[in-house]
């Protein structure tokens, strides 16, 4: 499922961005700044320079990027570990998370206007500008810093889908969320609660007191063998 999600999200934007880089040293109109790669490898393959601006189509929103998060999938993609099911077309811009400001709106977009502060699970986010399908955008709540907002999209989407799609949690079920104090785990716990499941937050002993603020029905220390042995059977975990 994860492989398919990556393919569906990446294919169309990838086709738009994979034009040739200009050879001229001066910046041209229509060239944004971006971090891109020309081949797979370690951090040393990352380059900073000019890259063609993305093209806005129907249903698209153009975002001026304020911040882009770095996730494990970025490292896997850069190193070539995902090339068998989602190869990078070189030169390619990486990145899956962003926050920023709407600077352009394509035809058929409803609910977003120029000037809106947004976050998104997108693709090619290591850039000044990024085209995002409106359905992958959300407005940033007042009071949430844009840099902090950039860390949310991928982890929250992953946690949500693990519970609602992969596990298909139902109301009344008891769910043990391991790693509930992390980003993905918190999202999974919140989603399970919204689905009216009974949620047990599995954390480390050192996280136990703070984890009580997550809103779970019960907290258990996964590194406490006695506590785990005393845990009643769960429906999902």
Residues 132 and 15 occupy one common structural domain: yes
| Residue whose pair of structure tokens reads 């050192």 in the numeric block | 206
Residues 192 and 96 occupy one common structural domain: no
CB 45 within 8 A of CB 122: no
**What's the confidence (pLDDT) of residue 28?**
54
Looking at the DSSP bridge assignments, the partners of residue 64 are 101, 129
Choose the final residue of a domain: 150, 169, 190.
150
Residues 142 and 49 occupy one common structural domain: yes
Which residue range is the domain that position 203 belongs to? 156-229
User: 79: burial class by Cβ within 10 Å (0-12, 13-18, 19+)?
Assistant: middle
Residues 183 and 107 occupy one common structural domain: no
Q: What CATH number does the domain containing 26 carry?
A: 3.90.180.10
**What's the confidence (pLDDT) of residue 30?**
74
Residues 65 and 130 occupy one common structural domain: yes
Cβ atoms within 10 Å of 7's Cβ, excluding its own? 13
Residues 70 and 138 occupy one common structural domain: yes
Print pLDDT tens along the chain (237 aa). Answer: 333 333 334 444 444 444 334 333 444 567 999 999 999 999 999 999 999 999 999 999 999 999 999 999 999 999 999 999 999 999 999 999 999 999 999 999 999 999 999 999 999 999 999 999 999 999 999 999 999 999 999 999 999 999 999 999 999 999 999 999 999 999 999 999 999 999 999 999 999 999 999 999 999 999 999 999 999 999 998
CA distance 194 to 217: 13
Any domain includes 234: no
| Domain total in the chain | 2
Choose the final residue of a domain: 133, 150, 167.
150
Any domain includes 164: yes
> Which of 139, 64, 143 has the alpha carbon at shortest distance from 100?
64
Strand ranges of the sheet holding 60-67, from the earlier edge strand across to the other edge: 129-133, 60-67, 97-105, 117-121, 137-139
Any domain includes 235: no
Q: What CATH number does the domain containing 195 carry?
A: 3.40.50.720
**Ramachandran region, residue 172 (left: φ > 0; alpha: ψ -120 to 50; beta: rest):** left
Any domain includes 76: yes
Choose the final residue of a domain: 150, 179, 195.
150
Residues 192 and 122 occupy one common structural domain: no
């Amino acid at each position: 499922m994860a492989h398919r999600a990556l393919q569906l999200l990446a294919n169309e934007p990838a086709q738009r961005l994979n034009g040739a880089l200009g050879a001229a040293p001066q910046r041209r109109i229509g060239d944004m700044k971006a971090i891109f790669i020309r081949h797979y490898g370690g951090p040393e393959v990352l380059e900073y320079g000019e890259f063609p601006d993305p093209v806005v189509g129907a249903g698209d929103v153009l975002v001026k990027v304020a911040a882009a998060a770095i996730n494990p999938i970025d490292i896997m993609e850069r190193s070539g570990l995902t090339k068998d099911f989602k190869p990078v077309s070189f030169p390619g811009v990486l990145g899956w998370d962003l926050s920023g400001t709407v600077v352009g709106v394509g035809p058929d977009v409803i609910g977003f206007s120029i000037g809106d502060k947004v976050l998104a699970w997108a693709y090619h986010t290591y850039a000044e500008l990024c085209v995002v399908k409106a359905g992958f955008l959300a407005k940033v709540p007042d009071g949430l810093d844009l840099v902090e907002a950039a860390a949310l999209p991928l982890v929250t989407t992953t946690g949500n889908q693990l519970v609602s799609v992969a596990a298909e949690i139902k109301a009344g079920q008891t769910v043990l969320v391991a790693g509930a104090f992390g980003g993905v785990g918190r999202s999974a716990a919140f989603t399970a609660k919204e689905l009216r499941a009974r949620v047990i937050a599995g954390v480390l002993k050192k996280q136990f007191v703070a984890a009580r603020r997550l809103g779970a029905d019960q907290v258990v220390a996964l590194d406490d063998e006695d506590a785990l042995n005393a845990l009643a059977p769960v429906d999902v975990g």
